[in-house]
Amino acid sequence: MQEYFNQIITNILNGLPNVLTAILIFAAGLYMARLISNLIKNVLKSRDADPEVTQLLAQLARWSIISIGMITALQRFFDVTAFLAGLGILGFTIGFALQDIMQNFVSGIILLIQQPFDVGDSIEVKGYGGKILAINLRTSEMRTWDGRIIIIPNSDILSNPITNYTRAKHRRVELPVGVSYGSDPAIVRIVVLDAIGNVPGFVSEPEPFVVFHTFGSSSIDLSAYFWIDTAKAGLAKAKDAALELIKAALEKNDIEIPYPTSTVHLQKEN
């Protein structure tokens, strides 16, 4: 009997280092899980991410690290390779069946972290343009320029070029104009440049310019280029104001804006 108890004590003493090591590994995993979870929360809060999404991502990271710590600790007592292999096969099967959902889910996480756009931004992606209403983990919701509500999978957004109009503080406006052949190009240039300087949101840098580019059927065609501050005026408003100002300035300086005309010759038969 004494020998039996001695064997038990010996086994406990021999296994004590593994127990202490496993406890330290698991405790380190808990500490790292808490640290990473708080880091994710702080980063996403600084980017004004949705609170529910922030909580979800923080919990996913926390439990993932805890699981890794637990598996590493159990490895001190028995081989968990076979168990993990079984879990891997099961996970592969489920992941293959839900690959589209998982792809959109991962894309949603990347969008929330990188933030190529925020809720309320006006963007254009995959042929759709409008204002972002919501960014979810699987899809993003957009109201198009004509009022339609579009639900776009996040993977489609992430895999296509994104044009963010809101973040473009300055935008260039191009406005085509036609004047009569009898007009002096130098005077026309001065008149047009003076007119667009009064457009709402106009900025002097980069410098505006006028380019004559086409001999039209009834006019010399030019384009006026200038930049606006999008915080003060939208693109459509600036174009509208520029057209009115240029038309009024040309009329004031007796510069004709011609329209196409046709001459019809009628021959009378004897």
Work out the angle at residue 179's Cα, subtended by the Cα atoms of residues 173 and 181, and round it to the nearest 5 degrees. 145
70, pLDDT greater than 60:
yes
49 occurs within a structural domain: yes
Whether residues 139 and 176 fall in one domain: no
Whether residues 80 and 126 fall in one domain: no
214, pLDDT greater than 60:
yes
- Domain CATH code at residue 198: 3.30.70.100
Q: What is the dihedral of CA 45, 102, 89, 27, to 10 degrees?
A: 0
pLDDT at residue 49, rounded to an integer: 66
Say if pTM beats, i.e. exceeds, 0.85: no
90, pLDDT greater than 60:
no
270 occurs within a structural domain: no
Minimum mean pLDDT range among 113-117, 145-149, 250-254:
113-117
Whether residues 197 and 143 fall in one domain: no
Whether residues 88 and 12 fall in one domain: yes
Of 33, 22, 20, 19, the C-alpha closest to 73 is 22
Whether residues 139 and 180 fall in one domain: no
pLDDT at residue 32, rounded to an integer: 85
188 occurs within a structural domain: yes
What are the tens digits of pLDDT across the range 24-48? Answer: 877 888 888 888 888 878 887 777 6
112 occurs within a structural domain: no
Whether residues 177 and 144 fall in one domain: no
Mean pLDDT of the chain: 79
Which sign does the torsion angle of CA 158, 160, 166, 167 carry? positive
98, pLDDT greater than 50:
no
Q: If residue 7 lies in a helix (H) or strand (E), which one and from where to where?
A: helix 2-46
Whether residues 45 and 18 fall in one domain: yes
pLDDT at residue 9, rounded to an integer: 53
| Euclidean distance between CA atoms 36 and 31, whole angstroms | 9
- Domain CATH code at residue 143: 2.30.30.60
| Euclidean distance between CA atoms 42 and 59, whole angstroms | 13
103 occurs within a structural domain: no
147, pLDDT greater than 60:
yes
Per the structure, how many domains does the chain have? 3
Whether residues 136 and 190 fall in one domain: no
Strand partners, 171: 228
Q: If residue 209 lies in a helix (H) or strand (E), which one and from where to where?
A: strand 209-215
Per-residue pLDDT band for 15 (boundaries 50, 70, 90) equals: low
Q: What is the dihedral of CA 159, 163, 164, 168, to 10 degrees?
A: 140
**Residue 29 near residue 65 (C-beta atoms within 8 A):** yes
160, pLDDT greater than 80:
yes
Q: Could you tell me which residue, 243 or 51, shows the higher pLDDT?
A: 243
Domain range for residue 128? 117-164
| Euclidean distance between CA atoms 230 and 234, whole angstroms | 5
- Domain CATH code at residue 93: 1.10.287.1260
109 occurs within a structural domain: no
Instruction: Tell me the two tokens of residue 246.
Output: 């240029």
104 occurs within a structural domain: no
Instruction: Tell me the two tokens of residue 182.
Output: 């009898």
pLDDT at residue 72, rounded to an integer: 74
263 occurs within a structural domain: no
